[in-house]
Amino acid sequence: MLDMKVLIVLTSHDQLGNTGRKTGFWDETLAAPYYVFREARVDITLASPNGAQPPLDPRSRQQGFQTNDTRRFENDAAALRALADTVKLLEIEPGKFDGAFFPGGHGLLWDLVNDRNAHRIIASMLAAKKPVALVCHAPGILAQVTAPNGDPIAKGRSLTGFTHSEEADLHLTEVVPYQVEDELKKQGAIFSAKANGTVHVVQDDLLITGQNPASSHQAALRLLDLLQADAG
């Protein structure tokens, strides 16, 4: 797997609407895939709209949300250096990568959802028959991506993502600008979900979506399986 390259795309947005609270990417949704790929000796590039250090949602560092992977990442000097020096999305050439992973977190609802470079990367990779995985809030980006025929990329696809119910549990329904479940359904996606916080990953050809942070590890394994199958 030494010659495999995966792009991980993070948000650069750190304000939770008008609440005065901080947001960003969700810790587990980066740490879990990072170590799935690193243990498989896949070359990882971290990117974000603004480049440099992307914001971490401080709530995701609370004790109840920590995992073995997040604790490992927090004490991993090499991983922290890579996170502090993400590449700007504008500079990313999708053709240089074999797959892409989009971690979740509320921040991306304000930037990546509307980021043309994020849309370009997803559309280009899928058109080139390369796998793309998105978890938690990140599947919401798909509602803004079009297929080569001009249809929404989500139309007719089996997908999942952070649900309306999970957003309501966080009391953020009226804060977020974008309801992932609602928007994907509007685009014609075949949306499925399990109980709040339950691991749920859906694969539709080369497109992989995970419902919530707990689904990040499994989504990354699915992406890795596709990379290994293609390499084999």
Give the domain ranges of the chain: 5-231
Locate 84 and state its tokens. Answer: 């502090």
Q: Which residue stretches of the chain have pLDDT < 50?
A: 1
pLDDT 10s digits, 146-191? 998 999 999 999 999 999 999 999 999 999 998 999 999 999 999 9
Check if the beta carbon of residue 4 is closer than 8 Å to that of residue 100. Answer: no
Which residues, 6 or more positions from 41, have their beta carbon under 8 angstroms from its beta carbon? Answer: 1, 2, 4
B/e letters for 190-199, b = 16+ CB within 10 Å, e = fewer, are ebebeebeee
Q: pLDDT per residue over 54-72, tens digit each?
A: 999 999 999 999 999 999 9
- Over the chain, what is the mean pLDDT? 96
Domain 5-231 in CATH 1.10.10.10? The answer is no
Per-residue DSSP letter, 163: -
